[in-house]
Amino acid sequence: MKKNKNNYVVIMAGGIGSRFWPLSKRSYPKQFHDILGVGKSLLRLTFDRFAQFIEVENIFVITNASYTLLVNDQLPEMPVANIIDEPASMNTAPCVAYASFKIFAKNPDANIIFAPSDHLITDERTFEESLLKALQFTSTNKMLLTLGIKPNRPDTGYGYIQHHEKEVSDGVFMVKTFTEKPTLEIAQTFLDSGDFSWNSGIFIWKAADILEEFNLHQNDMYELFHKGMKKFNTSEEQAFINKQYPLCKSISIDYAIMEKTKIAGIVPVDFGWSDLGTWKSLFVLRDKDENNNLKHGNNIEVYNSKNCLIVEESNPNKLVVVEGYEDAIIVDTDDILFISHLSKEQEVREITSDIKEKYKGKFS
């Protein structure tokens, strides 16, 4: 298949995956781990997925500067210049603005996908078809698209997007409302209505269009980057970004642009998606033994236990024995042993925050 030279992808790989603590830590976040047990990290899987239909030289990874060497090590075929360093951990809006300015300076006709580095996609052919269709649409239509995942349960951990009934084009709808993490009762009404999708966090737009919307809705941030237009893709870029980037407001692209713009569109899709946001999401997806225990590690023995997730990452020669547990998360790393109830997986982020404060960042 001939690949369109104007199509780009920016893989967002700067997060720390705090709900996967203690496996995912600031020094080595979850996107660099093989948490699916397939021999590839989540970042590697994401890169390979996009490389099927996007030129390798048009694939960028934006990440915290402290992870540059990790990205380079895991994606050696990608040009080093395509690793975009964030000098500070902000949120997705500054990340999108920076990468959009950089790519626009290289190619004003650029059509860009922005996607997280740590999602699971099981039907990659449908994923590719959906994105190529979205890219074709945005190349000739002024719209900011997001992929909406067809919900199969009333999940309270996801954001929801409602679309208008009438199609703008084949499979493309205008966005009607955004709702962030509703109650179970409201999530059920969304599921029953049929016109709500989960927010995938995958976006598609022309570089020129997203920059115009930044100018309209986040002008301060727009101006911070715009003054460096002549510095992008030169030896002066990093020094400019190191100075300007920390001045940005820390805000998500959803709040900064998508919920304000009048040209937000959605493509409802169904290609076996999970954001792999929590230990329980991993537990649901991976194969388990006859007692519904998920074992990730070399030497794990389980007795009189069921519905447990057991991860051993501290030592390949270590033996882990679990007896008499039910519905548990047990994660053993070099410096931390974490045991929790599987139903408490949404509380891991609060626990990590507390541990970080108590131990002054030592175990985070």
Question: Which residues are registered as beta bridge partners of 100?
Answer: none
Residues 98, 287: Cα–Cα separation, whole Å: 39
CB-based burial label for 149 (10 Å; 0-12, 13-18, 19+):
buried
Given this model, what pLDDT does residue 314 score?
84
Residue-wise DSSP of 172-187: EEEEEEEEES--HHHH
Q: What is the pLDDT of residue 181?
A: 86
Strand partners, 120: 274
DSSP 8-class letter at 333: -
Total residue length of the chain = 364
Dihedral angle of Cα 146, 245, 157, 145, to the nearest 10 degrees: 0
Distance CA 150, CA 166 (A): 17
Interatomic CA distance for residues 11 and 26, integer angstroms: 18
Domain residue extents for the chain: 7-274, 279-358
Tokens, residue 325: 């547990």
Q: How far, in Å, CA of 266 to CA of 161, rounded? A: 8
Helix (H, G, I), strand (E, B) or coil at 146: strand
In this prediction, residue 154 carries a pLDDT of: 87
Side-chain half-sphere CA neighbours of 99 within 13 A? 33
User: 7-274, which class in CATH?
Assistant: alpha beta
Q: Which residue is listed with tokens 């996107």?
A: 31
* Integer CA distances (angstroms), 32 to 60, 73, 307, in order: 16, 10, 26
Residue-wise DSSP of 111-137: EEEEEESS-EES-HHHHHHHHHHHHHH
Closest by CA position to 17, among listed 277, 251, 253: 277
- Chain centroid to CA 56: 19
> Which pLDDT score is estimated for 17?
85
pLDDT in tens, the chain (364 residues): 689 999 999 999 998 888 899 999 998 999 999 999 899 999 999 999 999 999 999 999 999 999 999 999 999 999 999 999 999 988 999 999 999 999 999 999 999 999 999 999 999 999 999 999 999 999 999 999 999 999 888 888 888 999 998 988 989 999 999 998 888 899 899 988 888 999 999 999 999 999 999 999 999 999 999 999 999 999 999 999 999 999 999 999 999 999 999 999 999 999 999 888 889 889 998 999 999 999 999 899 999 999 999 999 888 889 999 999 999 999 999 999 999 999 887 788 889 889 989 998 888 8
Phi, psi (degrees; rounded to nearest 5) at 62: -105, 130
**Alpha carbons 66 and 28: distance in angstroms, whole number:** 10
- In this prediction the pTM is 0.93
Q: Are 135 and 32 in contact (CB under 8 A)?
A: no
Contact between residue 138 and residue 243 where contact means Cβ atoms under 8 Å apart: no
Query: Is the backbone peptide bond immediately before 22 cis, with ω within 30 degrees of 0?
Result: yes
Kindly give the residue spans of alpha helices, DSSP state H, lying in 196-289: 207-217, 219-226, 237-244, 253, 279-285
User: Scanning the structure block, which residue is given the tokens 């547990």?
Assistant: 325
Tally of CA atoms within 13 A in the half-sphere of 331 that contains its CB:
22
SS3 305: coil
Tell me which DSSP letter residue 201 carries. Answer: E
For residue 228, what pLDDT is reported? 93
Of 75, 117, 97, 106, whose CA–CA distance to 241 is shortest? Answer: 97
User: At 147, phi and psi to the nearest 5?
Assistant: -90, 130
What pLDDT does residue 293 have? 97
What SS3 state is found at 199?
strand
